[in-house]
A and B are shown apart, each in its own frame.
Chain A
Amino acid sequence: MAVPVLTGRRRRGSMARRQRMGLLFVAPAVLLVLGMFVLPIIVTAVMSFYDWSLLGERRFVGLANYRRLTGDDSFWHSLGFTTVYTVIVTAALLVVGFALASAVRHRRRGVGLLRTAFVMPVVIGFATASYLTLWLLDDRIGIVPDLLRRTGLADGNVSVFSSYPSALTVVVLLVVWKTVGLTMLLLMTGMQAISKDFYEAAQVDGARRIRVFFSITLPLLRPTVGLVLILTVIGSYLAFDQFFILTQGGPDNSTIPVVYLIYRAGFIDFNLGYSAAMSIALMVILLILTSIQLLLVRTREDS
């Protein structure tokens, strides 16, 4: 990457001194990142080899936490659930995001307002949106169960969080509602950056719209789709707020994402050492996933 740098032939010594001042400018940010991010990574790794209680007692136990992890059904179940959730959310976001982006990518009267409406939920917090959902879906006072009963789609109790499929569906709908605006914006910007010549050529050839989408738009959007994929996959693997507030892990502990498990182990069961081992596992999984996705985007771009 080309970085413009002040270079002068004269006064080379004072120039070098001036260049070194850059270190002063980046120092505060870098020190904070080192202290509050790099150091914690190292400490997490160290903690994972300890039986480390939240209350302070610690004892070196070697690989015991990791051995426990490999045999821990709740961890593997949680990992499986998080993966299923991630796949569904990612697919839903891409499909809905593409639909919305295609609808509002061109200039048209009122399109700005539509974009604003679709993006608005993105700025609301996940916790806040979850409290909103909780109310809308409440069996007694919520509008959604009320409407379902009125239209005859349901009768009696509508308790969405008492079964795994409906609980997961609700969370996915909430996540799509809250974040698809961002997906739409990224895809839309990518679409607008595609040269019009491609579309004109396709039109001259008489290509159909579906064909144009799969032969022109999608291939040329690969970098953007890659970015969306990485953002969505990482975001979904880190889901916490919506499950903590809406499903509280239920029913029967079937909706516990990994971060929820890390939270429980460390701050409910007071076992920071085990919590740290799970954290390291999550870190490794995410690094692998991101690297794979980056590689996919890269090689496709090059070929």
Chain B
Amino acid sequence: MTSLEPATTAAAESATPPRRRTGRPEWLPAVPFYAVCGLLALLFVAPVAWLVVSSFKSSAEFAQSPPTLLPTTWSLENYRRLLDAGLWQNVTNSLIVTAGTVVAASTLSVLAGYGFARFRFPGKGVLFLIVLSTLMIPFQSIVPSLYVILDALQLTNSRLGLVLVYTVFALPFGIFTMRAAFAAVPPAIEEAAIVDGAGSLSALRRVLLPIVTPGVATVALYAFFTAWNEFLAALIFTTRQQQYTLPVVLANLQTGAGGTLNWGVLETGAVFAALPCIAIFLILQRYYVAGLTGGAVKG
């Protein structure tokens, strides 16, 4: 696990003498600081941790009143019931849609970021403005027509349809990030490759791509979280349970098959939806944080 430190500030701070840079005493002495912050951190982490632990209760114990803190007997009943109910299909849907979005958004962002950062072509300013405008106008306000368009293309109830929608969600941030990443690379590096006879595309692939990998990681992460967690579009653009992604199938479980809600199964479904995000965040948080805060510093 890497520490949560934006790459940019980490570099800036290591350049200054390590201790007491401000010359000010710590604003809170150690004991109250760790007591308060520790409690707060618990408040952020405990609900999810308890959710995961509780998913190993039996379905009956999960629905018991008052709730038990730890499972009296550890059981996989909720998981078995969930999979019996056909959850694999929805996990697969989520995986395919997310993988498709990550690949499409990263590839298109790299290409467009390269194009916008390194080339001068007619209409460039207008095209970049169009891409950026997607940041200003939310997708939620084009839902009615997006449905009609997808329906006409027979892309409702389709994983490809969702991939297209989510890719467009992720593109503005992706292109913005990749354009900045390419702009930060000295042009001399790829000029050398091009003088050696490489084309633009092969210069991009062999020389530039390894340098901008951190940027690509940020874009891929952002696309992952977008696609894995998105609810509204998936709710509207899929109407058959076999096509639902995880968040939407949970809404179905909430209504309850046959009118009765099985809490253990619903919340175990929430574990399926939450854990991949948390795992990936813990492993790759450096890129996530650097990407989100990078834009903030530059303004």
Interface residues of A (CB under 8 A from B): 3-6, 18-26, 28-30, 32-34, 36-41, 43-44, 46-47, 52, 54, 100, 102-104, 106-108, 110, 112-121, 123-128, 131-132, 134-136, 138, 140-143, 146, 177, 181-182, 185-186, 188-190, 192-193, 196, 199-200, 203, 209, 223-224, 227, 234, 237-238, 240-241, 244-245, 259, 262-263, 266-267, 272, 275-276, 279-280, 282-283, 286-287, 290
Contact = CB atoms under 8 A, between A and B. Distances in A.
B16 to A, nearest CB: 8
A44 B255 CA distance: 31
Contacts of A177: 43-44, 47
Contact of B225 (A110, A115, A123): A123
B232 A36 contact: no
Nearest to B281: A123
Interface stretch (B71-79, B80-88, B268-276): B268-276
Contacts of A131: 250, 254, 266-267, 269-270, 273
Interface string B124-156: 100100110010111111111111110000000
B140 A117 contact: no
Nearest to A102: B27
A39 B142 CA distance: 10
Given A192-B12, A259-B140, A282-B140, A199 B121 contact: no
Given A6-B187, A146-B66, A286-B137, A192 B289 contact: no
Given A29-B108, A177-B44, A192-B13, 5 more contacts: A23-B121, A29-B175, A30-B131, A47-B145, A118-B44
B299 interface: yes
B274 to A, nearest CB: 5
Contacts of A140: 65
Interface of B: 1, 3-6, 8-9, 12-13, 16, 18, 21-24, 26-28, 33-34, 36-37, 40-41, 43-45, 47-48, 50-51, 62-67, 108-109, 111-112, 114-124, 127, 130-131, 134, 136-149, 164-165, 167-168, 171-172, 175, 183, 186-187, 190-191, 194, 200, 225, 228-232, 235-236, 247-248, 250-251, 254, 263, 266-267, 269-270, 273-274, 277-278, 280-282, 285, 288-289, 292-293, 295-297, 299
A196 B119 CA distance: 39
Contacts of B263: 135, 138, 141
Contact of A32 (B43, B140, B171): B171
A275 B12 CA distance: 50
A178 to B, nearest CB: 10
Interface of chain A: mostly helix, strand, loop or mixed: helix
Given A3-B117, A26-B111, A119 B4 contact: yes
B6 to A, nearest CB: 6
A136 B142 contact: no
Contact of B140 (A107, A119, A224, A240): A240
Contact of A37 (B134, B292, B297): B134
A204 to B, nearest CB: 10
28 contacts: A21-B119, A21-B121, A26-B111, A29-B131, A29-B175, A30-B112, A30-B131, A32-B167, A33-B171, A103-B28, A103-B37, A108-B26, A116-B285, A123-B280, A123-B288, A128-B250, A131-B254, A140-B65, A146-B65, A185-B293, A186-B296, A189-B6, A189-B293, A196-B21, A238-B140, A241-B232, A245-B254, A276-B144
Contacts of B122: 20, 23
B112 A126 contact: no
Contact of A107 (B13, B44, B111, B274): B13
Contacts of A237: 138
Contact of A279 (B50, B142, B267): B142
A123 B275 CA distance: 10
Contacts of A104: 37
Contact of A283 (B3, B47, B118, B141): B141
Q: 5 tightest A-B contacts by CB?
A: A22-B119, A125-B229, A25-B115, A112-B3, A43-B145
Contact of B141 (A33, A132, A282): A282
B144 A279 contact: yes
Given A32-B168, A43-B149, A283-B137, A127 B48 contact: no
Given A120-B281, A209-B27, A238-B138, A40 B149 contact: yes
Nearest to A193: B297
Nearest to B65: A140
Given A5-B118, A186-B293, A192-B9, A112 B4 contact: yes
B24 A199 contact: yes
Contact of B117 (A4, A110, A188): A4
A46 B149 CA distance: 13
